[in-house]
């Protein structure tokens, strides 16, 4: 469905020419982006011609998919007003700003929390489906540079006021902050065990909207405010991580940017580094290795002399992941060596942050295996994967599933088809117990690598076992 504007949409035509996208090419890109979100779209070159020459405005998610398709080609965000579609059903550009002013930062974060998240939880539409495919790694440039220049605000005290619409003043105390920290700790456990799409994990955005937002809009001293911003930053990063795990990259990006801004208000430089590391992992996962390196190195640079040895080890490990994805074996090896060295310096009495509780030598080994997978070094993958799988993982079920897939790929590349299928079966069993689009993508990648052996009974059996997982709704 479309509605008509007045005259041709010259802005859209000009941007298409700038991007070098034909009418047929844009239609194909929009249809593909829609398919990634479960939408069946049948636009063609004639549809695009109507948008440009007659000013027709497609309805629903289409305007945002058009912007996303052009953004992918240009390598930068493309707002609707730039392509003459600002009058389409609005999907506010909230969550992408990194305000210099603390008051504006609160406004930016709370606006994000109030968005309609129904589409993310139930696949029924909503803001995230409208923003399908709108992830742009360039959106991280300004937040990272501003955080590097000024990683802490001078004061965050907020004068007595009222939460919007509540009619009652909110005076925030340490007990309020503690509740948010406990919520974050619970969410971390559920996420590791059941995946980012588990219904208990999806309560994090609700907690941000119902609990955190009114507190941010309340009144607090500088001391309480720092703690409040830190706890909310942790929850916001978790919301981003869960969105990332369920394949909602556009939502994850907005949560990460706001988490970094809140960490700056908290004057918590290690936490800011952790958010940057999360951004780096997302960029790397999306295929932007060079940008992933920049984000990881930004985390490292500001934390020299501040973060614990274990924290620095994790940042170097994330850097190694990005170097490996970028194909730089030498830099990846150096970063891995540094990560292991930092980890060896860690001691039980160190003041490690609570959010780093997942990081042990097992996790180091698992990520090292993925580095060597990207560098096509199966012997090294096998060595580190054996270490990563050496201990029970009742608490980190999703990580165990990912490690099994990486192990299967290493066995396959070493010529051990039986072992690859055996590990693949175990990975499918784990993936079926959790809700993680990322784990499913890993399984799909393994099956793709096994296609040359499709006639083998073992491969056919694995594919059959994986069928329910692959047919499940995203």
Reported as a single tens digit per residue, the pLDDT across 117-163 is 433 433 334 555 555 456 788 899 999 999 999 999 999 999 875 44
- Give the number of other Cβ atoms within 10 Å of residue 383's Cβ: 16
Q: What is the pLDDT of residue 248?
A: 85
Q: How many residues does the chain have?
A: 474
Q: Within a domain: residue 274?
A: no
State how beta strands 56-58 and 2-4 pair: antiparallel
Instruction: Say whether both 68 and 15 belong to one domain.
Output: yes
Tokens of 229: 């911003």
- DSSP code, position 209: I
Q: What is the pTM of this model?
A: 0.79
Say if residue 49 is in the same domain as residue 143.
no
φ, ψ for residue 162 (rounded to 5)?
-125, 140
- Give the burial class of 428: count Cβ atoms within 10 A of its Cβ; 0-12 exposed, 13-18 middle, 19 or more buried: buried
- Residue 122's pLDDT is 34
Same domain for 121 and 17? no
Considering 236, 267, 298, which residue would you say is the last residue of a domain? 267
Residues 44 and 122 in one domain: no
Query: Quick check: 156 and 102 in contact, CB under 8 A?
Result: yes
Do 180 and 238 sit in the same domain of this protein? yes
Q: Which residue has the higher pLDDT, 413 or 237?
A: 237
Alpha helices by DSSP H, listed for 375-474, are: 378-388, 397-413, 417-431, 437-449, 457-471
Asked whether residue 125 is domain-assigned, the answer is yes
Task: Look up residue 90 and give its DSSP letter.
Answer: P
DSSP calls for 154-170: S---B-S-B-TTT-SB-
More confident of the two residues 204 and 263 = 263
Is the same domain home to 182 and 70? no
Chain segment 298-346, per-residue pLDDT in tens: 999 999 999 999 999 999 999 999 999 999 999 999 999 999 999 999 9
The total number of structural domains that make up the chain = 3
Residue 308 lies in a domain: no
Q: Is the pLDDT of residue 237 over 80?
A: yes
From residue 334, give the alpha-carbon distance in Å to each of 273, 279, 329, 331, 337.
20, 21, 9, 5, 5
Query: Nearest Cα to 146, choosing from 174, 108, 112?
Result: 108
Last-in-domain residue among 83, 110, 138: 83
Full residue range of the structural domain in which residue 191 is found: 101-159+170-267
Both 78 and 196 in one domain: the answer is no
**Domain presence at residue 289:** no
d(CA 440, CA 401): 10
Cβ neighbours, 10 Å, residue 333: 19
Degrees to nearest 5, angle at CA 276 with 275 and 279: 90
The CATH number covering residue 52 comes to 1.10.260
Mean pLDDT of 402-410: 91
Residue 285: the pLDDT is: 93
Question: What tokens does 276 get?
Answer: 């940057």
User: Is residue 294 one of the residues assigned to a domain?
Assistant: no
Q: What is the DSSP letter of 80?
A: G
254 neighbors 128 (Cβ within 8 angstroms): no
Neighbours of 430 (CB within 10 A): 21
Whether residues 37 and 110 share a domain: the answer is no
Using the predicted structure, report yes or no on whether residue 35 has a pLDDT greater than 80.
no
Instruction: Please check whether residues 111 and 21 belong to one and the same domain.
Output: no
Q: Average pLDDT of the chain?
A: 87
Position 303 in a domain: no
The verdict on residue 22 lying in a domain is yes
Residues 65 and 180 in one domain: no
Distance CA 421, CA 467 (A): 15
Decide which of 17, 50, 83 is a domain's last residue: 83
Our measurement of the distance from residue 341's CA atom to the centroid of its chain's CA atoms, rounded to an integer in Å, reads 28
Going by C-beta distance under 8 Å and a sequence separation of 6 or more, which residues neighbour residue 178? none
**Both 127 and 262 in a single domain?**
yes
Determine, yes or no, domain membership for 448.
yes
The percent of residues in the chain predicted with pLDDT above 70, rounded, is 87
Neighbouring-strand partners of residue 219: 171
Question: Number of helices and strands (H, E) in the chain?
Answer: 23, 2
* Residues linked to residue 162 through DSSP beta bridges, in sequence order: 169
Give dist(CA 319, CA 356) in Å, integer.
17
Residues 185 and 78 in one domain: no
């Amino acid at each position: 469905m479309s509605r008509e504007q007045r005259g041709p949409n010259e802005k859209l035509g000009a941007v298409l020419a700038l991007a070098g996208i034909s009418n047929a090419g844009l239609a194909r890109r929009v249809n593909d982006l829609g398919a990634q979100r479960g939408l069946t779209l049948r636009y063609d070159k004639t549809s695009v011609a109507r948008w440009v020459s007659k000013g027709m405005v497609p309805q629903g998610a289409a305007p945002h998919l058009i912007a996303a398709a052009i953004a992918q080609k240009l390598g930068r965000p493309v707002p609707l007003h730039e392509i003459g579609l600002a009058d389409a059903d609005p999907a506010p550009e909230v969550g992408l700003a990194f305000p210099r002013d603390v008051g504006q930062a609160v406004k930016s974060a709370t606006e994000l929390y109030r968005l309609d998240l129904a589409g993310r939880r139930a696949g029924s539409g909503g803001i995230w489906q409208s923003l399908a495919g709108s992830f742009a790694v360039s959106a991280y440039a300004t937040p990272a540079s501003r955080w590097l220049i000024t990683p802490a605000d001078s004061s965050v005290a907020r004068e007595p006021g009222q939460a919007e619409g509540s009619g009652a003043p909110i005076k925030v105390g340490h007990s309020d902050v503690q509740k948010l920290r406990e919520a974050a700790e619970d969410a971390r456990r559920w996420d590791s065990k059941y995946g980012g799409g588990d219904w208990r994990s999806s309560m994090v955005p609700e907690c941000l909207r119902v609990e955190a937002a009114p507190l941010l809009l309340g009144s607090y001293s500088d001391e309480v405010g720092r703690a409040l911003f830190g706890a909310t930053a942790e929850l916001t990063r978790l919301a981003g991580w869960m969105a990332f795990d369920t394949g909602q990259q556009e939502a994850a990006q907005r949560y990460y940017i706001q988490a970094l801004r809140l960490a700056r208000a908290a004057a918590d430089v290690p936490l800011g580094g952790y958010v940057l590391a999360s951004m780096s992992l997302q960029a790397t996962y999306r295929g932007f290795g060079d940008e992933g390196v920049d984000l990881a190195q930004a985390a490292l640079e500001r934390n020299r002399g501040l973060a614990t040895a274990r924290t620095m080890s994790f940042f170097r490990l994330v850097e190694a992941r990005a170097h490996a994805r970028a194909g730089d074996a030498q830099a990846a090896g150096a970063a891995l060596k540094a990560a292991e060295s930092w980890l060896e310096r860690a001691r039980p009495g160190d003041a490690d942050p609570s959010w780093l509780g997942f990081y042990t030598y097992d996790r180091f080994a698992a990520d090292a295996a993925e580095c060597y997978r990207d560098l096509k070094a199966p012997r090294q993958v096998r060595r580190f994967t054996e270490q990563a799988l050496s201990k029970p993982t009742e608490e980190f079920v999703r990580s165990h599933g990912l490690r099994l897939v990486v192990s299967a790929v290493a066995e396959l590349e070493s010529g051990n088809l039986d072992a690859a299928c055996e590990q693949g079966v175990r990975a499918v069993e784990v993936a079926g117990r959790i809700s993680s689009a990322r784990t499913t993508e890993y399984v799909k990648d393994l099956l793709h690598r096994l296609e040359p052996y499709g006639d083998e009974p073992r491969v056919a059996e694995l594919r059959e076992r994986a069928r329910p997982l692959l047919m499940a709704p995203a």
